[in-house]
Structure 1
């Protein structure tokens, strides 16, 4: 038993699994609700493509009848019963010959490609939203730790003043000030805890969780790291060529062009081929001896020649051209704006204000304990440290959110 107890004491501490940025992204790709919905849209477009590429089914018709007032017994092979069978291809052969089926399939396939690019664009936006929420949750966790540290510092100050007050070495005013600051620190901690709960709940929904996250987040996710050399113009050009929403606009333009060709091709009337067999008796004197007929039917475009469909397709093409131009311009503008925000956020995050504020608080704390600084100076130093620490966390969060925004603008990972 003693050996088991010693082994338990000497065993290394259990590593607590933390949710990293990469793990959050992987979980989102595997089971995120919005990810599944984006895939459903592509599946629906593929189903539409299957329908568009199908040929119309042939029509089989049959009829039976009887002639009244006719004596079939007067001649051999005669009959008063009439039988007929018909088969029509419903213009399926003509649809294939003139290329309408191929054009419909091409339009549907372009729609599938557009849906795939739209899914990628939606996932790009959702990924950026996920990362921003992840960074906000990490900020909330670290802010809670800062608030808890401020509360502990305020509690130590209040306890020391309480002992001094009991010994008659400090006034009741000083003790009251310390108690007020401790209550303010408690309130700040409670607010940080509420913010953390809300952030974790929102992050859990994005990750496809049925409830809030249980594992802690990687605190180092907000630490500054090396930033690769970035050229804004090359990033803008790359975004204009490769961003998913630009690719989706290009696919929509291809679809609109093919749809216009299809609308013009629809002016050609559909020719349906049919075959019919009918008989009413089989002899030479039968009312209708066995007869096979072949026929075609053509609608005459006398009053309408698809003018509305063609005009609509032309308008759709113009709209697709404008949409593509706007998507390219927006991609370049997004990259430039995100790059400017990233540079500004990086500059703020690199300032070492928090270290100086912590050093100042420690010095004032030491001086106050030795009687060389006033209580007001100590309280001011503690409030300043809490404020500066919160602002520094916000600067770090803003920096990583700017990185996510730049990745959203370029359509690729930067770090």
Structure 2
């Protein structure tokens, strides 16, 4: 056959369009709500990672305080051993005093190793989280500034009214609930039949039977959803809406219930930390300095200096622990509060080699104006 396509009885082409009745609005609302939920979930995830990073930096700062303080005790103990050996050479002391001092120094050196281990772990965890090398704080003053900035900010925010609905996780739950509501509307709209409009053209070659050679037709078809009209999808969407709504309410109730207790905990830990840093530690260091001068002048036995040095070492560790507890309380409270406008936080932008640690006699409290916030 020379022309096979010429033997086809007719050719036809057509265009059809299904008109969605009552479905376009719910679909658009659902898409907008899901976009808002995704953005809020991203903000919540980013905030969690920021809090995790801040917690690691707090561990790094407290380990730096502990390390600097214990190193000062080691240096002071080493000098005390030299004084004790001079006294022994002049037949004024006993070998037992030197042995006791060496034991105290050895204990302090073990604490130095423990603090260095904690700092190394914090640096490794920080590098794993941010994907780059983290450096330690340059001094105990910089570490104190970082911790104090977080404590000051958390204390200020605890006294100001904040809308918990602005938390990203709460916003995400609200958006998911609205998406489920739009999904239920869309499912109920399945009961409305969507008409299908079709426009077609037919070219007929079988004219001997009396057919028209060219014809144009317009048709409308209407499905009748007697059995499945979206009832299962509507129930599923209502169940999701109820679940998101209840989860949002529980989240807000839990946050409102925890805030007073967290605020009280922060106040108590802050009072403990300030008492150790501003009153107890300076007094203890002054007593240690006076006792060491009295021992060097042979006015007191060496055992008094040993006991005073041990007390100061314990207080230094306790002070670092008080900073750690107060920082944990501040960070836990910050995580429960909604985010604020971003600002530049105090970060440990320090060289890899830390500065020479200060001795306990130079104990001071540093503050900073930088207020770290979580977006």
Tell me which interval the TM-score lies in, with the shorter structure as reference length.
Answer: 0.7 to 0.9
* Candidates 308, 324, 329, aligned match of 1:381: 308
**What corresponds to 1:259 in structure 2?**
183
Give the superposed CA RMSD. Answer: 3.0
Q: Number of aligned residue pairs: give it.
A: 333
Shift of 1:341: 1.5
**What corresponds to 2:125 in structure 1?**
202
If asked which structure has higher relative contact order (CA below 8 Å, sep 6+), I would say 2
- Checking the alignment, whether the CA contact within 8 Å between 2:9 and 2:204 is kept in structure 1 is yes
**What corresponds to 1:328 in structure 2?**
252
Matches within 5 A, 1:167-206: 167-206=90-129
**What corresponds to 1:25 in structure 2?**
none
Shift of 1:413: 4.8
Secondary structure of the residue that 2:219 maps to in structure 1? strand
**What corresponds to 1:154 in structure 2?**
77
**What corresponds to 1:247 in structure 2?**
171
**What corresponds to 2:286 in structure 1?**
359
- Checking the alignment, whether the CA contact within 8 Å between 1:121 and 1:245 is kept in structure 2 is yes
**What corresponds to 2:346 in structure 1?**
none
* Candidates 123, 146, 170, aligned match of 1:221: 146
Runs of 5+ consecutive residues of structure 2 not aligned to the other structure: 342-370
CA distance in 1 between counterparts of 2:10 and 2:137 reads 78
Structure number with greater Rg is: 1
- Checking the alignment, whether the CA contact within 8 Å between 1:256 and 1:316 is kept in structure 2 is yes
Normalised by the length of structure 2, the TM-score is 0.78
Normalised by the length of structure 1, the TM-score is 0.71
- Checking the alignment, whether the CA contact within 8 Å between 1:82 and 1:278 is kept in structure 2 is no
- Checking the alignment, whether the CA contact within 8 Å between 2:61 and 2:137 is kept in structure 1 is no
Larger mean CA deviation between 119-128 and 338-347 belongs to: 119-128
1:293 aligns with 2:217: yes
1:135 aligns with 2:62: no
**What corresponds to 2:266 in structure 1?**
342
CA distance in 2 between counterparts of 1:178 and 1:100 reads 84
CA distance in 2 between counterparts of 1:214 and 1:191 reads 16
**What corresponds to 2:360 in structure 1?**
none
1:313 aligns with 2:208: no
CA distance in 2 between counterparts of 1:150 and 1:394 reads 17
Larger mean CA deviation between 323-332 and 398-407 belongs to: 398-407
**What corresponds to 1:275 in structure 2?**
199
CA distance in 2 between counterparts of 1:137 and 1:229 reads 22
